[in-house]
Amino acid sequence: MRNYSPYHIDGIPKLSEAIPLGLQHVLAMFVSNLTPVIIVTGVLNVPMDVKTNLIQACMLIAGINTLVQAYTIGPVGARLPIVVGISFTFVPVAISIGTKYGMEGILGAVMVGGLFEACIGLCMKKIRRFFPPVVTGVVVLSIGLSLIPVGINSFAGGVGASDFGSLTNLGLGAAVLTVVIILKQFTKGITSTGSVFIGTVFGFIVALIFGLTDLSPIKEMPFVSIPRPLSYGFAFHADAIFAMMMMFIVSAVETVGDMSGVTMGGAGREVTDRELSGGIMADGLGCVLASIFSILPTTSFSQNTGIVTMTGVMSRFVVGVGAMFLIAGAFFPKLGALLTVVPSSVIGGSLVMIFAMIFISGVNLITKEPLRGKNAVILSVSLGVGYGLGAVPGALVNFPESIRLIFGGSGIVVSASIAVILNILLPNDKK
């Protein structure tokens, strides 16, 4: 029997450590896991009782799909500490489909798109050669760059908040960030690896003391409620399916980046063919399960990749504990509501550092090989054009909406596409 470190991928920390380490994963993704469904159901005027059920389903499916990624079912799953949640990537196309065909049209397209992504996973070994370190590094780096503004928005109080950018929000976020930095750099053991959780608890307590958080949502929730599948049926329309399949390609690219970020940031190695194939298959089949519970597609969450990179904790048991809290939140709504009342600036205090860690993982991947000649061209062109279009999406204003949806968002898809194409077309450097 091998003697693993408790933070090794197969290690099992004591519950007194695993619970706070798992909870910091949940805290980092909880609101983001619920928001996409809240947005889409709001636009489509879904009844409140159905919306409540779908929110519970978001927690249940996120927990189940996280467990599958960590512990696998046969060839399905990466066997990595990947945390899964409802993806923002699909929100614009889901609204477009839902406006035309209703929730049934969205769910039919999600089911087919999930099967399509699972097929991509089956073929991953054959196409892996198109993803050398410089290409996967560009994807990971692009993910980090695209998320840093998200962290700053949260730090300032959350987009749309009436007190966005107030000194109170900035001060609260700065206090959390300071606690995280001190614990991470100047302590050892659980206080270092659990710095995000401890910093978040500190910020929440400060917010409670100064009356900066509202606990009424906890009182309004029932103690026990069971998520129900099939709130809606399925409708299959060719145009909706095609649009959704394109977004599943985007999601697969992001998942490749997240898995690469986890293995490089947590273990200092590249992701294997088996991990890539199993992870993408799990992503796709997890989305099929999501469609059965009438919610949007799930995917790996980059903020949790950042936590692995920042803490160095690769233990699958830790994310498994976090997944069990998500599942418990699905059946005990008051528990889930407790996590939703944590102020955005408290979460943002740690997110700005977590997202920057993803960027650093991308840099580490890219610099595994000398950054000159072919690799320098791939990096400069893909990052320049991709990040540029992500920062200035109006540059694509004269293109069809379908093109803008795919290429005009974060810039990740543009960067990845250019990196793959240049890697194929450009000759290798002469030795």
Name the helix (H) or strand (E) containing 85.
strand 84-86
pLDDT digits (tens, 9 = 90+) for 185-224: 898 878 888 888 899 899 999 999 999 888 887 888 788 8
DSSP 189: T
Please indicate, yes or no, if residue 120 is contained in any of the structural domains: yes
**Residue 292 falls inside a structural domain:** yes
d(CA 173, CA 13): 29
User: Is residue 8 situated within a structural domain?
Assistant: no
Contacts of 73 (CB under 8 A, 6+ apart): none
Residue 1 inside a domain? The answer is: no
Cα maximum dimension of the chain = 68
> What φ, ψ does residue 119 adopt, rounded to 5°?
-65, -35
pLDDT tens digit at each of 431 positions of the chain: 455 678 889 989 999 999 999 998 998 888 788 878 887 887 888 887 788 889 899 999 999 999 999 999 999 999 999 999 998 778 878 888 888 899 999 999 999 999 999 999 999 888 888 888 888 888 888 878 887 888 898 899 987 888 899 999 999 999 999 999 999 889 887 888 888 889 989 999 999 999 988 888 788 878 888 999 998 999 999 888 988 888 898 788 889 888 988 998 888 888 899 999 999 999 999 999 999 999 999 999 888 888 898 888 999 999 999 999 999 989 988 877 777 788 889 988 888 888 888 888 888 888 888 888 899 999 999 989 988 887 787 888 888 876 776 676 667 778 888 998 999 998 887 76
Residues contacting 294, CB < 8 A, separation 6+: 54, 57, 103, 107, 229, 230, 231, 232
Number of domains in the chain: 1
Closest to 366 in 3D by CA, of 378, 384, 354: 378
From the list 305, 415, 412, the residue with the least C-alpha distance to 358 is 305
> Is residue 328 situated within a structural domain?
yes
Range of the domain at 107: 15-369
Closest CA to 293 of 132, 45, 106: 106
